[in-house]
């Protein structure tokens, strides 16, 4: 801790000073003065435990008040560098809300009307601030709409066929959520899932997806071929916040029981990045789901940043090779090698492999040749609503 001690009647900082720290009074007493130097007005008297100077600390603006000691005083100093480190990691919406509150505070507290200071402030706030502003407003209104959208039935679940490469038979589906926004049209999950994760709405989205997928399964299951080696399955994507909450395994089990869906026909897809970001929090749930007999797939394989040790620590039953590698395996030697090693690794660990993003016959044929069991991609079929996927399977 940084301590600063002051005698009686000393100035801690002056109006207009550059504010690079906030203070907590450990012992003593200070007065807060605003107005011109020759006619200062006392607006507050603060004693032990109080904090001051935090506004300039957060918004990088000059001090709007002068603080003087009324007694010998000891202060604990909180440096900007430390707080900023925390702030830059904060969500843009939080940053923006904080900035708005500070601006409002400044405007209402009769801060100095010094033209120079005002100009400096305008420059500092408006430039980088505008982007932050429009981004935050967009995010906030979308988050609000999403919350509405969930209750007003705007979510839809699409199903994309998964194919057994050696026979081209249909063996399963991946459920992919869509948001039919009344004004903006179809919004991609790549846009609204991260938003839902940030705002906590993901729990409602995930609950809806699980419930819908599991109850639709009875209409999909019969479309799949099933032999003793390849049982039909339905894949559902779950994200970290959903898995870190307690009771998730129980929720899944309840949905399965309600629809009499055998646990081994459900497969949960998790992304590598998700696992890396919160391994401890999610591993309990993952183990519990696996213990129920539910399959666990490592999604987007190859795009994460961690080593491979989690393949050893978590009970995966399959991996999905990311479409980034699959799409380029014919044109980029590196992608081809990554796909090849992923298949090799998967085989050695006794896992099944799904290659996603197959867009042409050549890619499907190559993957089959290389021993990849399952394939998924526009070449076979795009994700479709339940009715459309039923029609597709019958033709
Ligand atoms: P993902 O799990 O990696 O899903 C595969 C994505 O690739 C899907 O995008 C799918 O439509 C797309 N895709 C499939 N075949 C092809 C192909 O041949 N070519 C190309 N270019 N793309 C193909 P989508 O449906 O937009 O989903 C994006 C991501 O959103 C998903 O990536 C997944 O991470 C997330 N997501 C989707 N539904 C859910 C959900 O219900 N819950 C959660 N938590 N996340 C979801
Ligand atoms: Ca997936
Ligand atoms: Ca994927
Ligand atoms: Ca993905």
Question: How far is the centre of ligand 3, averaged over its atoms, from the C-alpha of 162 (Å)?
Answer: 12
In this structure, the residues whose C-beta lies within 6 A of any atom of ligand 1 are 160, 176-177, 188-190, 193, 209, 237-239, 269, 299-300, 323, 356-359, 376-378, 383
pLDDT at 84: 72
In a mutational test of the pocket of ligand 1, which residue from 189, 235, 244, 273 has the highest number of ligand atoms less than 8 Å from its CB? 189
CA proximity to 159, closest of 323, 353, 363, 392: 392
CA-based radius of gyration for the chain: 29
Question: How far is the centre of ligand 2, averaged over its atoms, from the C-alpha of 174 (Å)?
Answer: 7
For residue 289, pLDDT beyond 90? yes
Q: In this structure, which ligand is nearest to the CA of 363?
A: 1
Question: What would the pLDDT profile of 138-162 be if each residue is shown by its tens digit?
Answer: 777 888 899 999 999 999 999 999 9
- What does the H/E/C string look like for 375-394? ECCCCCCCCEEHHHHHHHHH
| Dist CA 133 CA 118 (whole Å) | 19
Q: Specify the 3-state DSSP secondary structure of 9.
A: coil
Question: What would the pLDDT profile of 253-278 be if each residue is shown by its tens digit?
Answer: 999 999 999 999 999 999 877 777 77
94-98, 132-136, 237-241, 295-299: range with lowest mean pLDDT: 132-136
| Dist CA 315 CA 64 (whole Å) | 58
Contact between 17 and 49 (Cβ < 8 Å): no
What the block records as the tokens of 99 is 């900035």
Give, to the nearest 10 degrees, the angle between helix 202-220 and helix 115-151.
Answer: 30
Question: How far is the centre of ligand 1, averaged over its atoms, from the C-alpha of 75 (Å)?
Answer: 54
CA dist 42 → 36, 257, 360 (Å): 11, 68, 76
Burial of residue 150, with CB atoms counted within 10 A of its CB: 0-12 exposed, 13-18 middle, 19 or more buried: middle
What the block records as the tokens of 122 is 């305008």
Opening angle at CA 174, ends 170 and 179, nearest 5: 135
pLDDT at 122: 46
Tell the CATH topology of 2-128. Answer: Jelly Rolls (2.60.120)
CA proximity to 107, closest of 61, 68, 67, 66: 61
Q: Which atom of ligand 1 is nearest to the CA of 379?
A: 18
Place of tokens 């939080």: 94
pLDDT at 120: 46
CA proximity to 294, closest of 320, 268, 312: 268
β-bridge pairing 374-375 and 155-164 = antiparallel
Q: Specify the 3-state DSSP secondary structure of 290.
A: helix
Q: Which atom of ligand 1 is nearest to the CA of 320?
A: 3
How many of the other CB atoms lie within 10 Å of CB of 240?
21
Ligand 1 atom 46: the closest Cα is on which residue? 237
| Strand partners of residue 46 | 30
Q: Give residues with Cβ within 8 angstroms of 279, minimum separation 6.
A: 310, 313, 314
Question: How far is the centre of ligand 1, averaged over its atoms, from the C-alpha of 160 (Å)?
Answer: 9
Q: Give residues with Cβ within 8 angstroms of 390, minimum separation 6.
A: 219, 220, 223
> In CATH, what class is 154-394?
alpha beta
Question: Average pLDDT in the 43-49 region?
Answer: 90
For residue 18, pLDDT beyond 80? yes
For residue 181, pLDDT beyond 70? yes
| Strand partners of residue 320 | 354
Question: What would the pLDDT profile of 57-69 be if each residue is shown by its tens digit?
Answer: 777 778 989 999 9
Q: In this structure, which ligand is nearest to the CA of 191?
A: 1
Domain boundaries, the chain: 2-128, 154-394
Q: Give residues with Cβ within 8 angstroms of 65, minimum separation 6.
A: 15, 32, 33, 34, 43
For residue 111, pLDDT beyond 60? no
Chain Cα centroid distance, residue 249: 21
Opening angle at CA 106, ends 33 and 73, nearest 5: 35
Question: How far is the centre of ligand 4, averaged over its atoms, from the C-alpha of 303 (Å)?
Answer: 9
């Amino acid at each position: 801790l940084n301590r600063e001690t002051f005698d009686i009647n000393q100035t801690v900082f002056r109006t207009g000073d550059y504010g690079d720290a906030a203070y907590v009074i450990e012992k003593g007493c200070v007065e807060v003065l605003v107005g011109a130097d020759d006619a200062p007005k006392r607006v507050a008297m603060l004693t032990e435990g109080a904090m001051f100077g935090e506004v300039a600390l957060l918004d990088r603006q000059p001090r709007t008040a002068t603080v003087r000691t009324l007694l010998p005083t000891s202060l604990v100093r909180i440096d900007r560098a430390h707080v900023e480190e925390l702030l830059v990691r904060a969500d843009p919406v939080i940053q923006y809300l904080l900035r708005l509150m500070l601006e409002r505070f400044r405007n209402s507290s009769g801060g100095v009307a010094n033209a120079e200071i005002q100009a400096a402030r305008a420059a500092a706030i408006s430039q980088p601030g505008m982007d932050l502003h429009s981004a935050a407003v967009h995010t906030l209104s979308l988050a609000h709409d999403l919350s509405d959208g969930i209750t007003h039935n705007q979510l839809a679940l699409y199903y994309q066929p998964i194919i057994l490469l050696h026979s081209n038979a249909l063996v399963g589906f991946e459920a992919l959520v869509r948001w039919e926004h009344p004004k903006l049209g179809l919004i991609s999950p790549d846009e609204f899932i991260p938003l839902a994760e940030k705002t906590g709405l993901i729990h409602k989205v995930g609950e809806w997806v699980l419930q819908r997928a599991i109850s639709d399964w009875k209409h999909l299951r019969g479309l799949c071929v099933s032999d003793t080696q390849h049982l039909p399955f339905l894949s559902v994507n779950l994200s970290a916040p959903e898995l870190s909450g307690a009771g998730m395994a129980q929720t899944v089990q309840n949905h399965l029981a309600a629809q009499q869906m055998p646990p081994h026909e459900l497969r949960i897809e998790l992304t590598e990045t998700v696992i890396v970001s919160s391994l401890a929090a999610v591993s309990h749930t993952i183990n519990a789901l696996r213990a129920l007999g539910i399959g666990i797939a490592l999604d987007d394989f190859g795009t994460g940043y961690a080593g491979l040790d989690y393949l050893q620590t978590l009970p995966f039953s399959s991996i999905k090779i990311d479409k980034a590698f699959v799409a380029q395996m014919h044109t980029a030697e590196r992608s081809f090698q990554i796909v090849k090693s992923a298949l090799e690794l998967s085989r050695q660990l006794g896992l099944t492999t799904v290659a996603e993003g197959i867009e042409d016959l050549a890619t499907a044929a190559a993957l089959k040749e290389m021993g990849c069991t399952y394939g998924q991609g526009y070449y076979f079929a795009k994700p479709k609503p339940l009715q459309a996927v039923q029609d597709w399977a019958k033709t």
